[in-house]
A = this chain, B = another copy of it.
Amino acid sequence: MTGAGASRRGSGGTSPARERADRYWCEWALLDAGAGPAAEPGVLVEVSGGLITSVARGTRPPDGAERLRGLTVAGFADAHSHAFHRALRGRTGEDGGSFWTWRERMYEVAGRLDPDSYHRLARGVYAEMALAGITCVGEFHYLHHAPAGTPYSDPNAMGRALIAAAAEAGIRITLLDTCYLAGGLGTDGAYAPLEGIQVRFGDGGAEAWAERAAALRAAGAHARVGAAAHSVRAVPPADLARIARTAREAGWAAAHIHLSEQPAENAACLAAHGCTPAQLLDRTGFLAALRPTLVHATHLTSDDAALVRGTGAGVCLCPTTERDLADGLPELDRLAGAPLSLGSDGHSTVDMFEEARSAEAHERLRTGRRGTLPAHRLLEAVHTGGHAALGWAAAGDPPAGRIAPGARADLVSLAVDGVRMAGFDPRRAADALVWAATAADVRHVMAGGRWIVRDGVHALIPDAAARLDAAIREVAP
């Protein structure tokens, strides 16, 4: 990779005062994964004011248009991120243990962060995302307070650090401000108090959480704020019900919750409440009131899966993290009817191509069958599916995740002239993207009309890797 092209063209297209639109001629473009797997040849895209203003197919490259060689697609939404987990990559593979012993290592990192260091770390992670074609992230954020649980002078200092980090990396963010009240759920039905590092996560109750998070609303055009409850392990039923009652009037952009990630969560919930975690979300009104995005949904019963489908709740799979953490295999065939999104979660990998192919690959390993989700449906999950899950598809919003007139100008231009994509068949472009491409094949990325990656180099943070490296070393175990 070289930086040669980084200055070839400035960051254009964001100012409505420009006289005319920027014009890009795509050798191949997959306009809408939801419509099928094929890419169109010779697509002329005009961009103005952060939006795509016109799309013409089958054109020859006109004068004055920049040529984008290879394959261009819409920007990706990464619907589930814990930015600070990135510091653990390549540092737990010699260890054995379980999800729960891994969590102790993760807490070590959480214990070391403050708003400044988290800002630096998250900026590096979001820059890594940008380099991988991700133009919108959902940050599931629960590291709210200073050590000992003391609020910072700005009680939203951590959340604002994350929102600022996304702005500096040039991507949109939905900050999923997370309610985290209990340290765990015992089989006796008792919720343990927050302990150790966990005291940084807690607001004391659902009302206090909502009150603090409400102050984050006016967060900038690139940011929206959503609500999250960490899990049925960390939020008692009465608080889930309280969030469900108040969140609609609170106007959150989205609602998320971790669900049935580990068998131990199901076992504790059954013992304590006599029902599965999904049933508990149903009983407390959380499902019906919020139609939340259910993250993982790994260990659902068939009744749970039917319940999820029936309420219109979405499912966010995080396959590379689920295999890293030994979570197990979800029954994708039962969940595929629900609105689907994908997340890189713990960032053992930041590569939405890998998430997409792994969702289907894991299902193949589980069932012995190929093709539960064809490639273009998997791609749809990181395009329109992810944006819907993150609250960027509300009434009146410009579409996101498609290359269409009026849509947000989020573009990812990929090389197809490397060895990995050799044999690329544009009639099956989705297939090539999901099963052959990697984040390393991303060449240029535009978010909201602004180029944020050029020739594989972050246009706003050219030394992104070195900065990320330094930020990790500050806090890594």
Contacts and interface: CB of A to CB of B under 8 A. Distances in A.
A94 B423 contact: no
Given A91-B431, A94-B431, A364-B326, A465 B419 contact: yes
Given A368-B328, A370-B326, A417-B466, A375 B1 contact: no
A423 B96 contact: no
A37 interface: yes
A64 interface: no
30 contacts: A1-B418, A37-B94, A89-B423, A89-B435, A89-B436, A90-B431, A90-B435, A90-B436, A92-B370, A93-B434, A94-B376, A95-B371, A96-B374, A97-B370, A97-B371, A98-B370, A102-B370, A323-B361, A324-B364, A325-B364, A327-B368, A348-B436, A362-B365, A365-B365, A417-B469, A422-B465, A423-B468, A423-B469, A423-B472, A440-B440
B93 A374 contact: yes
A191 interface: no
Contacts of A376: 94
A367 interface: yes
A263 to B, nearest CB: 7
A124 B86 contact: no
Interface of A: 1-2, 37, 86-87, 89-99, 101-102, 124, 127-128, 131, 263, 322-329, 348, 350, 357, 360-362, 364-365, 367-372, 374-376, 417-425, 428, 430-432, 434-436, 438-441, 464-466, 468-469, 472-473, 476
Contacts of A440: 420, 438, 440-441
Contacts of A368: 98-99, 263, 326-328
Number of this chain's copies in the assembly equals 2
Nearest to A421: B90
Contacts of A465: 417-419, 422
Contacts of A127: 419
A93 to B, nearest CB: 4
Contacts of A374: 93-96
For the complex of A and B, the 4 pairs showing the least CB-CB separation, nearest first, are: A96-B371, A440-B440, A423-B472, A326-B364
Nearest to A96: B371
Contact of A93 (B362, B367, B435): B435
B365 A86 contact: no
Nearest to A38: B94
A316 B69 CA distance: 39
B90 A326 contact: no
Contacts of A324: 361, 364, 370, 435
Contact of A95 (B94, B325, B370, B476): B370
B131 A94 contact: no
A2 B374 CA distance: 35
A326 B435 contact: no
